[in-house]
Chain A
Amino acid sequence: MPRLLPLMLSLSPSAIVSIPRLCSSARALGLLWRAGQATAFAAPLLLALSAWGQVSAVNSPDGKPLSDRVVAYWIDATLNTAAKTLDATEILEYRNDSDQPLSTFPFHLYFNAFRPQSTFSGESHRDGTNILYANGEQGAMDVSSISAEGYGDLTQSMKFTAPDDGNREDHTVMEITLPKPLAPGDAVRFHLAFHDKFPLSVARNGYKRDFIMGGQWFPKIGIWWHGAWNCHQYHADTEFFSDFGTYNVNLTLPQRYTVGASGIQTDERSNADGTKTLSFRGEDIHDFAWAASPHFQVADDSFENSLGTVRLHALVLASHAAQTQRYLSTLKQSMQKFDEWYGPYPYKQMTLIDPEPDSEIGGMEYPTLITGGTDWWSPSWLPFGQDATVAHEYGHQYWYGMVATNEFVEPWLDEGINSYSESKVMASLFGVNTSALNARTLYASDAETERISYLHRPDEDPIARPAWQFAGSSSYGCIVYGKTSTALTTLEAVLGEGTLRQALRVYFTRYRFKHPTATDFLHTVEEVSGRNDLEPYFAQAIYGTEMLDYSVDSLTSVPSEWWKGKDANGQYHTSVLVRRKGGFVLPVKLEVGFDDGSKEQATWDGKDRWMRFSWDKASRAVYAQVDPDGIVSLDANSFNNSYTLQPNRTARLKLTNYWVLAQQLLAQWLSFLV
């Protein structure tokens, strides 16, 4: 329990509620809070402190909060780095922002997912990922007490619920009931004491060696959304959804550790027992994460945008020191692109964490903090690894961090839109065709990697589906990331790159620090593009599972008067049969090239199953191709989009050459063995 509590209890309820909001001078508040010296006479001092020296974590243009701060957390935690445990007290102030009284309050206890009995583990096992929890590798979050000011001890009312699948052993959602409802507009202050056991790194969390990732590490209240509590269990593929608010966190841990966290650091104090206590404050964010390692090397930089200076705070492991500048460079360039295309980053700091090698932590997004991922050898010709991760996770500051959509129910709104944004940023930084791989004999674009991901599961699930209702983790990944990105790339081809970018900018500006839905996004696109005919596309691409596949079924180019023999009158009749092989209907363009260099184009609405096009010309056709510009990325088969009358065997021979070489080498190797 924070040491400030006696002081707060001595104040009137309204003053108690107002203190955290008024006293945004985190440094001063933190000092008093930790010192435990607060007495009754300190109350006026606290209030006075709140009026000056305010340390804000955001570059607010008018000094006002950027979000509707529904929650405020004060957490005082002590980390045992040897046992990989954490003991903490938490004060949560929750304001009833709904229009109805609330008596039950659900909390997420995510660390309980990392047990074999949990829904997370069961679903992971079902999808082929066996997470074996050996001794000391399980995670746990035990809430030892909970009370609410004015309501007394609520510990006895705690119960686990499983709103999604009824798994009583899940324990990732806890619910408490107040003796009397909380009226609309009123606030309640909960006091919790909890104990965390960090799991061996799993699902972007936990520890590996002496690296500890604190993500989803505290009891977090659910969100009242569209007239109901939204507090889903932790599933194999779900992420997070919370209210905006403020976070004040004190973290005590050994001196040798370096910590990066959400928000900004407001204080650091050495303790007599060889530990230190770090204080952090985050504003207008909906989660708080940190990472600690004794091997971090700190590298700072800055980025200027229209709202002010953003401090770039990179904590890179010593083993990856050579990659530090690359991390910062990609981060700055990504920030530049997002700022230019969608809008400004309003926070004062962006923290980049380099996660422990060989761990399951990898790239992950948290408000104002991202984890990257690299290797000591990470070559510059392979931006797909380190650079794409940074671009992607930074993009989440927009699509998740600020535009805080429901990641449980509509995961495509953050992961999908962000994958599209990532591919655009990567293309601008590393080249349209080479943004994923740029080797001498091979190249690939980031957008292509998304498309290939989509092609692995093109029709298994619709894009718009709750995360835990996908056929499996593979389908979730391929559809939510790959298909959404590819569908938006195709939409870009339909609307124009500038129009879709403007639509995203408006969407961001309109819904930042809010919780929009798919409808909000699609309406914004329609509104900005001025197109009222996009509904069929959205219905098929976002809500449907039909495949998009057009093919050139046949191409003939014969003398017009064929019965007179070859080249009777020098005129040729060219006929092309185009077929729609999938159920997805989209207008397509057809191009036919002739041996005199001329080209003919035609457009087909694609509604029928097939269409025949023909031309009579003095030259023979060479090829026919649907989607000649290659912009319909959703088309599931690129190889049947065209047909040439003359075969070209170069590609076949080239691949066969590789194959023969591989077989010969394999045989030589085997004969060496025996």
Chain B
Amino acid sequence: MKRPLPNLLTHGFWLALRNWPCVVWAYGVNLAFGLLAGIPFAGGLAPYLDHSLAAQKIAGTIDLGYLAELEMRLRQSNFIPVAFHTALWINLLEVLVLFVLFTGTVFVYVSAEPPRLSVLLRGGVAYFWRFVRSTCVAACIAGLILGVLIASRVALLARLSAVYVERKMFLYSVISGAVVLLVALLIRLWLDLVEVYIVRNAVDGEHRVRNALLPALRLLYRYFFRTVGSFFLTGMLGVSAFAACLYLWNEFVPAHQVWIGFLLAQVGLFLLLASRFWQRGIEVSLAMAADPPIVAVDEVLEIAEEDIPVTTGAESLAGLSEPTLRDLVQKLRTEPWANPDVLPGSQTSRPARPADPSRGKEPEISPLDRHAKKFPLGGLSSDEEGTPANSAEKTRSGGDQEIPPGTGNKP
């Protein structure tokens, strides 16, 4: 039985909006690295353009002949290797940084940690290798599926081209290309959900990447149309906003107005990037609503039985790989079956956290509390989840339709 879901679009949007620093940081990185790549490029152009009247043929509406000649001049110098190699390395570095930021963003969205840069980075670093592993798995699967699809497409188009030409052939080419793109995007969506599950499973004490693969697939399968629809809609909105900015630049900005063009392009790029965070918000909203994390009783007991001293808040936050779980376990050791919402005593019974400058004036509440407060997504209420016997029974029974997909993976 499917859980009732909130409106993914609005919840995803608000989740992204509440955590707006994530977008801003990512855009800042995108802009900074872009400008960095522009430095050698601009420097290489200066000797040719700054003092030449021929540059006027490029400054306004561009004379393609002069642009082509400039390209030839640049190719004869060391401009191409310098500008392109610099851009290559800068792009690779930027992709790495953005990867960490996106990883941190998923952590922030799932854990409801404050979206500070330090949290983003620590979350990003903590989950980095697990995300890398999931990306590698997805790349292998994508390579297999898309390889077959692309080969089939090439063979199909070769056959069709023996009969059809021009407009019809173009349509067939576009349609078959769209099918491949659609499948590629579905794989990307699945990978997004896998990444959400990786963080979400950590709350449940599950750290293995492979145990995030099938739950993500099941979730995608169960809520296919809503998820895919929301994913594509936000993606289309982002691309449309970017295209609209380029259109405005092209149509209404005079050719020599470089700064207005720059601003419009940046607005477009920001909106394009923001749509990606919106997509992440949708995916987290979906996973947390349809399959909220439930702490494994067995694991909690296991941890509780270990002779582990109750750690302080600072210690628990030292490694962000599983802070939510550790934090929760500490709470549950002192108030084993307490519902954090209805048992404020749990806070008092815990050792007080020493002041942590990185956490600022964060209220001392558990990640689950914070999560429930920040995005009440429906599904099981805190009260329902707070019934440990039921949870344990459901977890162990395994065949109950009410059990969310994520819990079925636990031993």
A317 to B55, CA, bound (A): 43
Contact of A641 among B38, B54, B94, B261 (CB under 8 A): B54
12 inter-chain pairs at a CB distance below 8 angstroms, sorted by A residue, are A209-B162, A436-B64, A444-B63, A448-B63, A644-B52, A651-B45, A654-B58, A657-B262, A659-B37, A667-B30, A668-B98, A671-B94
Which chain A positions have C-beta within 8 A of B30? 664, 667-668
The reply to whether A638 and B59 form a contact with Cβ atoms under 8 Å apart is no
If A209-B163, A659-B37, A668-B273 are given as contacts, then 5 extra A-B residue pairs at C-beta distance below 8 Å, sorted by A number, are A623-B53, A651-B58, A652-B42, A654-B261, A659-B87
Number of interface residues of A (CB under 8 A): 61
Q: Specify which chain B residues have a CB less than 8 angstroms from the CB of A442 in the assembled complex.
A: 61-62, 64
B54, B90, B255: the one contacting A441 at CB < 8 Å is: B255
Asked if B338 is an interface residue, CB under 8 A from chain A, the answer is no
Contacts of A441 in B (CB 8 A): 61-62, 250, 255
Q: Is B251 interfacial (CB 8 A cutoff)? A: yes
CB distance from B158 to the nearest CB of A (A): 11
Give chain B's interface secondary structure class.
helix
A225 interfacial by beta-carbon distance below 8 Å: no
Instruction: Determine whether the beta carbon of B54 is less than 8 Å from that of A642.
Output: yes
A443 at the interface (CB under 8 A from B): yes
Distance A645 CA – B53 CA, assembled complex (angstroms): 11
Q: Which residues of A contact B256 (CB under 8 A)?
A: 650, 654
Chain B residues within 8 Å of A, Cβ to Cβ: 30-31, 33-35, 37-38, 41-42, 45-46, 48-56, 58-59, 61-66, 68-70, 72-73, 83, 87, 90-91, 94-95, 98-99, 102, 135, 161-163, 165-170, 188, 250-251, 255-256, 258, 261-262, 265, 269, 272-273, 276
Interface centre among A448, A449, A659 (most CB of B within 10 A): A659
Docked CA distance A641–B35 (Å): 31
Q: Given A320-B166, A659-B38: A644 and B51 within 8 A (CB)?
A: yes
Taking CB atoms and an 8 Å cut-off, the chain A residues in 654-672 that contact chain B are: 654-657, 659-661, 663-668, 670-672
By a CB distance below 8 angstroms, the chain A residues around B269 are 661, 664-665, 668
Residue pair A672, B58 in contact (C-beta under 8 Å): no
Contacts of B168 on A, CB cut-off 8 Å? Answer: 319
> Which of A448, A644, A645, A663 touches B87 (beta carbons < 8 Å)?
A663
A443 contacts which chain B residues (CB < 8 A)? Answer: 61-64
In the complex, the answer to whether A674 meets B262 with C-beta atoms within 8 Å is: no
Among the 9-residue stretches A85-93, A137-145, A450-458, A611-619, the one with 4 or more Cβ atoms under 8 Å from chain B is A450-458
Does A357 belong to the interface (CB within 8 Å)? yes
Give Cα A83–Cα B269 distance, bound, in whole angstroms.
56
Residue of A451, A637, A668 ringed by the most chain B CB atoms within 10 A = A668
Closest to B83 in A: A659
Report the Cα distance A625→B56, complex, angstroms. 13
Chain A residues within 8 Å of B45, by CB: 651-652, 655-656
User: Is A375 part of the contact surface with B, judged by Cβ < 8 Å?
Assistant: yes
Question: Once bound together, how far apart are the Cα atoms of A440 and B250, in whole Å?
Answer: 8
For the complex, is A647 an interface residue (Cβ under 8 Å from B)?
Answer: yes
In the complex with contacts A444-B65, A660-B35, A667-B167 CB distance below 8 A: no
State in angstroms the CA–CA spacing of A643 and B47 once bound together: 11
The verdict on A652 contacting B46 (CB below 8 Å), with A357-B165, A660-B37, A668-B273 known, is yes
A437 sits at the interface (CB 8 A):
yes
Interface contact B42-A670, CB-CB below 8 Å:
no
Give the CA-CA distance A337 to B51 in the complex, in Å: 40
Are A642 and B52 also in contact (CB < 8 A) when A455-B72, A659-B37, A674-B135 are?
yes
CB distance from B257 to the nearest CB of A (A): 9
Interface check A356, CB cutoff 8 A: yes
Bound CA–CA A635/B261 (angstroms): 33
Name the residue on A nearest B238 (C-beta): A668
- Which of B56, B65, B169, B251 meets A651, CB within 8 Å? B56
Chain A residues close to B by CB (< 8 Å): 209, 317, 319-320, 356-358, 375-377, 433, 436-437, 440-445, 448-449, 451-452, 455-456, 623, 625, 637-645, 647-657, 659-661, 663-668, 670-674
CB pair A671–B95 under 8 Å, yes or no, is: yes
The residue on A at minimum CB distance from B102 is A671
Whether B53 lies near A444 (C-beta < 8 A) is: no
Residue of A nearest to B70 (CB): A639
Please measure, in the bound complex, the distance between the C-alpha atom of A488 and the C-alpha atom of B273, giving whole angstroms: 52
Q: How far is the CA of A668 from the CA of B266 in the complex (A)?
A: 13
**Which residue of chain A lies nearest to B272 when distances are taken between CB atoms in the complex?**
A668
CA distance A437 to B90 in the complex (A): 34
Quick one: given A654-B58, A657-B258, A663-B91, are A433 and B63 in contact (CB under 8 Å)? yes
Instruction: Give B58's nearest chain A residue, CB to CB.
Output: A651
B90 proximity list for chain A (CB < 8 A): 663
A650–B258 touching, CB < 8 Å: yes
Q: Which of A445, A640, A667, A674 contacts B91 (CB 8 A)?
A: A667
Q: Which of A319, A448, A647, A654 contacts B258 (CB 8 A)?
A: A654
Complex Cα–Cα for A653 and B257 (A): 10
Bound CA–CA A320/B165 (angstroms):
10
Contact A667 B34 (CB under 8 A): yes
Report the nearest B residue to A452, measured CB to CB.
B68
Return the chain A residue nearest B33 by Cβ: A667
Contacts of B94 in A (CB 8 A): 667, 671
Residues in chain A near residue B250, CB distance under 8 A: 440-441
Q: Which residue of A lies closest to B45 (CB)?
A: A652
- CB–CB A319/B59 < 8 A: no
A454 to B257, CA, bound (A): 33
Minimum distance in angstroms from A204 CB to a CB of chain B: 18
The residue on A at minimum CB distance from B47 is: A639
Report yes or no: B258 in contact with A653, Cβ–Cβ below 8 A: yes
Shortest beta-carbon distance from B27 to chain A in Å: 9
Residue ID in chain B nearest A628 by CB atoms: B53
* Bound complex: CA A668 to CA B83 (Å): 19
Which of A320, A448, A645, A661 lies at the interface centre, i.e. has the most chain B CB atoms within 10 A of its CB?
A661
- Return B209 CB to nearest CB of chain A, in Å: 15
Contact A639 B49 (CB under 8 A): yes
Instruction: Output the least CB separation between B264 and chain A (Å).
Output: 10
**B63 near A651: Cβ-Cβ < 8 Å:** no
Nearest chain B CB to A165's CB is how many angstroms away? 33
Complexed CA–CA distance, A433 and B41 (Å)? 28
Which chain A residue shows the least CB distance to B138? A674
Answer whether A448 and B64 are a contact pair too, CB < 8 Å, given A654-B256, A656-B38, A668-B269.
Answer: yes
CB distance from B121 to the nearest CB of A (A): 16
Distance between Cα atoms of A363 and B49 in the complex (Å)? 37
**How far, in whole Å, are A285 and B65 apart by their CA atoms in the complex?**
38
- Candidates B58, B65, B98, B102; contact of A452 at CB < 8 Å: B65
Identity of the chain A residue whose Cβ is nearest the Cβ of B269 in the assembled complex: A664
B59 touches A671 (CB 8 A): no
Q: Across the interface, which residues of A come within 8 angstroms of B37, CB to CB?
A: 659-660, 663
State A651–B33 Cα separation when bound (angstroms): 22
Which residues on A sit within 8 Å (CB–CB) of B102?
Answer: 671
Given contacts A376-B166, A440-B250, whether A660 and B38 have CB atoms under 8 Å apart is yes
